[in-house]
Amino acid sequence: MSELKALIFDVDGTLADTERDGHRIAFNLAFADAGLNWNWTVDIYEDLLSVTGGKERIKFYLDKYQPEFDEPEDLSGFIAEMHKAKTAQYTNLLAKGAIPLRPGVERLLNEARAAGLRLAIATTTTPENVSALLEHTLGKESMDWFEVIAAGDIVPAKKPAPDIYDFAMKEMNLTAEDCIAFEDSRNGILSSHGANLKTVITINDYTKDHDFSGAAIVLDQYGEPDAAFTVIEGDALGHRYMDIDMIKKLHAA
């Protein structure tokens, strides 16, 4: 195993708990604005999360939950418009500070930068959503902390396909041996494992029962020096919160 050079982060569920109180709300606001009475409850959204990508998720919802819906002739154009409205609602929520970063994320990013590790993002979400999250939590300049922000439709096959991780590594001219991935979901780890990346998992309410077989470790959160994580699966190698030393050990293990 070569020396660790880069950390590649998923966004939704990993950097911040964005799905239940962010994306879900934004979809509902966009539907209401369009005069549609579609209501994505917390429970329905759990099922919808099996499909990554907002446009793909709307299509899945129509097929499964609104079979009677009188589809417009240009269905993909209709979905794209609806999704554009959703992105506006979502970035607006982030601008209001609706979603904080998860515990330990800001510290870990700073420690990684201080240690000279390279950073990248590999996500299914729309690029504007990533900029809005970073800008409104870490500040505008944090966009530059990431050498590559691989997002959304930049690759045609979204997670669980490995393409977005392969794209990020190719852009950085690195191989899977040089990197470690950070994910929160089954579709995420299928993608990172498909790209042969060791993967650290932090669970959330929607993903706590997912299958994370083969993960380097599964934690409830990264934790902080004064707030330990709980290990769900794996060996924390004597650590109580995630730091660069622990990441390097997991990468080498």
- Rule CB under 6 A: is residue 125 a binding residue for ligand XBP? yes
Cα separations in angstroms, 90 against 25, 228, 239, 242: 8, 31, 36, 29
In contact, 217 and 200? CB cutoff 8 Å: yes
Planar angle of CA 227, 232, 238, nearest 5 degrees: 60
**Least distance from C-beta 219 to ligand XBP, angstroms?**
17
Subset of 3-22 contacting Mg ion (CB under 5 A): 10, 12-13
Q: Which residues contact 131 (CB under 8 A, 6 or more apart)?
A: 143, 149
Q: Which does 124 bind (CB under 5 to 8 A by kind): ligand XBP, Mg ion, none?
A: ligand XBP
Q: Does residue 12 have an active-site annotation? A: yes
How many residues are present in the chain?
Answer: 253
Q: Which is nearer to ligand XBP, 27 or 236 (CB)?
A: 27
Q: Which residues contact 142 (CB under 8 A, 6 or more apart)?
A: 109, 134, 135
- Rule CB under 6 A: is residue 159 a binding residue for ligand XBP? yes
In contact, 154 and 53? CB cutoff 8 Å: no
Q: Which is nearer to ligand XBP, 187 or 199 (CB)?
A: 187
Helix, strand, coil in percent for the chain, rounding step 5: 45, 15, 40
Given candidates 91, 123, 202, 207, which one binds ligand XBP under the rule CB under 6 A?
123
Q: Which is nearer to ligand XBP, 123 or 199 (CB)?
A: 123
- Rule CB under 6 A: is residue 10 a binding residue for ligand XBP? yes
| Token pair recorded at residue 153 | 């439709």
Beta bridge partners of 12: 16
Query: Among 169, 128, 125, which residue's Cα sits nearest to residue 2?
Result: 169
Q: Does residue 63 have an active-site annotation? A: no
Subset of 170-189 contacting ligand XBP (CB under 6 A): 185, 187-188
Q: Which is nearer to ligand XBP, 54 or 104 (CB)?
A: 54
Site string for Mg ion, 180-199 (x = CB under 5 A): ----xx--x-----------
Which parts of this chain interact with ligand XBP (CB under 6 A)? 10-13, 19, 23, 52-54, 123-126, 129, 159, 185, 187-188
Which positions are catalytic? Answer: 10, 12
Which parts of this chain interact with Mg ion (CB under 5 A)? 10, 12-13, 184-185, 188
